[in-house]
Structure 1
Amino acid sequence: MPKLDLAAIATNMGSDYPAPFHEPIGQRMRQRLGDAGGLTQFGVNRVQLPPGCWSGQRHWHAKEDEFVYVISGEVVLVTDQGEQVLCAGECAAFPANTPNAHHLVNRSAAPAVCLEVGFRSLDERVVYADIDMVYDATADAYFHKDGAAYPR
């Protein structure tokens, strides 16, 4: 596979979370490097977090392992166990079906860039620990924890 041209890969801003859950993620920039490289068995995303931005709502995956590597800058990893600072060159791993909700928050004054790596499960379920939301990949939709769907 030839070298990927980062400048030619689309950058998606924000998230597709229903309101108001999308707000802290509004300035997140994500490039789907795995998709651009034709990968089908796992995904790789380059994520840029400006100061104050979150990587996503705190969550855990039922079927997918998740790995995060900080390329530049500094982020705070927030998990059920508390908070840890991750600097460039540091990483974290989250095994599938381990209910340890996590996300990254950029509390620094400079942008941070990370890589997210994960499996591409077609029947994934993501649980958002702090809010009334789950994601069902088979429906490609967000639901309340009681099963009621969020509007699209």
Structure 2
Amino acid sequence: MTAMSEPSPISALDAPERLRPSNYPEPFAALTQGRKKRPLGDLFNLQNFGVNLIHLSPGSLSALHHTHSRQDEFIYVLEGYPTLIRGETTLQLAPGMIAGFPSQGLAHHLENRSDQECIILEVGDRSAGDCVTYPFDDLQTVEGTDGKWHFTHKDGRPYE
């Protein structure tokens, strides 16, 4: 058995940005237009969990208000003052603050309501068969057998 070549450590800011800013179908993709993701874990071929460095410009959202059926998520605020919306609660976060979102927990997302960029480290597991629900939007996401996310309306019709 031959060992795979492991990538060398790099600066997180040197990691390439995700080519497609959002996987959401329109009109939802436009809501996260000011978000930039650098998928850090993918650089090292991590399979069990994902790690992203997220930059939120002023006025942007990290994601739509959502909850996962199987995936746990964790964030660590590196810079800026993002606003966490969790369930019906709103809380301004600051550098050094952390938050976790267990699967099937309260729906959540971050907004940058400040006038400066926010930088957040995001970690999530890659539990098979995860589904994402969006309580405020006509959208649901199911992980297909191909391992990719498939977006549908809540009645099951696919987005085109």
Q: 1:130 aligns with which of 136, 140, 147?
A: 136
Check 1:38–1:4 CA distance in 2 against 1; reply closer, same or farther (3 A cut): farther
Give 1:55 shift: 0.2
**Corresponding residue SS for 1:87:** coil
The equivalent of 1:110 in structure 2 is 116
Aligned to 2:153: 144
Map 1:63-82 onto structure 2 (within 5 A).
63-82=70-89
Cross-structure match for 1:37 = 44
The structure 2 residue matched to 1:23, chosen from 30, 40, 48, is 30
CA RMSD, 1 decimal:
1.4
Q: CA deviation at 1:7?
A: 4.5
Q: 1:89 aligned to 2:102?
A: no
- Whichever residue aligns with residue 157 of structure 2, its letter is A
* Amino acid in structure 2 at the alignment position of 1:4: I
Mapped to 2, the partners of 1:124 and 1:8 lie a distance apart of: 30
State the percentage of identical aligned residues.
35
Q: TM-score, normalised by structure 1?
A: 0.93
In the alignment, does 2:14 pair up with 1:5? Answer: no
Structure 2 SS opposite 1:3: coil
Q: Distance in 2 between matches of 1:15 and 1:91?
A: 24
Asked if 1:47 is matched to 2:81, the reply is no
CA distance in 1, matches of 2:132, 2:86: 15
Structure 1 residue 76, shift from structure 2 partner: 0.2
Unaligned runs of 5+ in 2: 1-5
Contact kept, 8 Å, 1:4 with 1:37, in 2: the verdict is no
Shift of 1:8: 4.0
TM-score by length of 2: 0.88
CA offset digits 1:83-118 (Å, max 9, x no partner):
0001100011111122x1110000100000001101
| Structure 1 residue runs of 4 or more that deviate by more than 6 Å after TM superposition | none
Instruction: Say if 1:122 and 1:138, in contact at 8 Å, map to a contact too.
Output: no
In proportion to residue count, which structure has more strand? 1
**Aligned pair count?**
150
Larger Rg over CA atoms: 2
Unaligned 5+ residue runs, structure 1?
none
